[in-house]
Amino acid sequence: MDEQQPRPERGGGVFTPIEIGPLKLRNRVIKAATFEGMTPGGLPSDDLVEHHRRVAAGGAGMTTVAYCSVSPEGLTFPDQMHMRPEIVPGLSKLTAAVHHEGATAALQLGHAGYFASRKASGCRPVGASRVFNLYTLTRPRVMNPADMERICDDFAKATLLTAEAGFDAVEVHFGHGYLLSQFLSPYTNRRQDLFGGSIEARLRFPLEVIKAVRGAAGSKMAVLVKANLEDGFTGGLGIEEAIEVARALEANAVDAIVLSGGFVSRTPFYMLRGDLPVAEMVRNEKKRLRRIGLRFFGRIFVKAYPFEEMFFFEQAQKVRRAVKLPLCLLGGIRSLANIERAMSAGFDLISMGRPLILDPDLVLHMKAGKCDASACEPCNLCVARMEAGGIVCAHPRLGAS
């Protein structure tokens, strides 16, 4: 009688440990940095701690705390976190809770650049070039070398405080139209100096930031980068230049890249494909002018993108073939079949957002064979109400109404 062949592991290896630089994850699932809306007064709340503890208890290998500005200058609204000593105790409570559940924690650091809020920051927004921003209806002040040196220093100081708060990794925001993305994108970078023109020149300042972060992180904290595959519109960053960005990050000792896409001020739902709940967005928008604009022009200016599973897979494969460092695939990953496809294509990690908002225990449920796919429907109601007391699933049948 032939010996029984071992059964292939569910998920194609996603439930196996992995080392990413100095970081050890118990499995390959990362909770994506999705805006939580749980930092009143710019301080981490108990709700924020519990939100990430639940994800950790539910089996994810790592959970990512969403956007924390490296300085007040990079804030997009008054209740957003910016890194400073005063928030370290609250963040330490969060990392301790995540570690207690056996997971690791990352903090996403960034600077909003030209779509920072003047009301929140107290100063005029800065940017790579003087390009009008439809999101905030402002033109930024063009950054000079002194600004770049100051912001590099802000990233380094923020990284040191991130380590002090007990985080295992920092995720530097290179995507979605934030400041470093504004330097990379030809749409927002029209400079004629050393920091504009070719992709090599547009990379110069973002890579200085990476060097500052890498130096501050040292050998004990992993450095991840969230980078765009495409901005999602003509004249923005495209896949061929995104490959050059990935190669440059690999050459500068980044531990992993989280592959994403979209541009907040132009294609905000490029990375949130599915329904466009304009009525709910209007109801929850706090700013009067933006609320009026959404009500009358939301479906004209905010483009919807039909949902499909693994919607970044084809572009991400091109990056996978170009670099050897660990890559994390996100975008419409909903099932074990999706995960197995990603793993077989050579992706080291996968990232989920909306499915883990609906069910923080999804990873454990999949591993135990209780389900093969998320029940999440891409209605985006969680996005529409994310500023109304914190992000939760708001689907009338699946989540909290």
- 224-249 confidence digits (pLDDT tens): 999 999 999 999 999 999 999 999 99
Query: Which stretches of 213-348 are assigned E, i.e. beta strand?
Result: 222-228, 256-260, 327-329
Closest among 199, 181, 200, 202 to 191, alpha carbons compared: 202
Query: In this predicted structure, what is the pLDDT of residue 10?
Result: 61
Q: Which of 178, 187, 270, 305 is catalytic?
A: 178
Q: Nearest 5°: phi and psi at 224?
A: -110, 155
What does the alpha-carbon distance between residue 313 and residue 205 come to, in Å, rounded to a whole number?
A: 28
pTM for the full model?
0.93
Q: Report, as ranges of residue numbers, the positions in the chain whose pLDDT lies below 50.
A: 1-7, 289, 291-292, 295-298, 300, 401
Query: In this predicted structure, what is the pLDDT of residue 167?
Result: 98
Query: In this predicted structure, what is the pLDDT of residue 286?
Result: 59
Known active-site residue 178: yes
Q: How far is CA 357 from CA 63, 86, 148, 284, in A?
A: 12, 28, 36, 19
| 6, amino acid identity | P
Q: Domains in the chain and their CATH numbers?
A: 18-384 (3.20.20.70)
With contact defined as beta carbons under 8 Å apart, do 94 and 44 qualify? yes
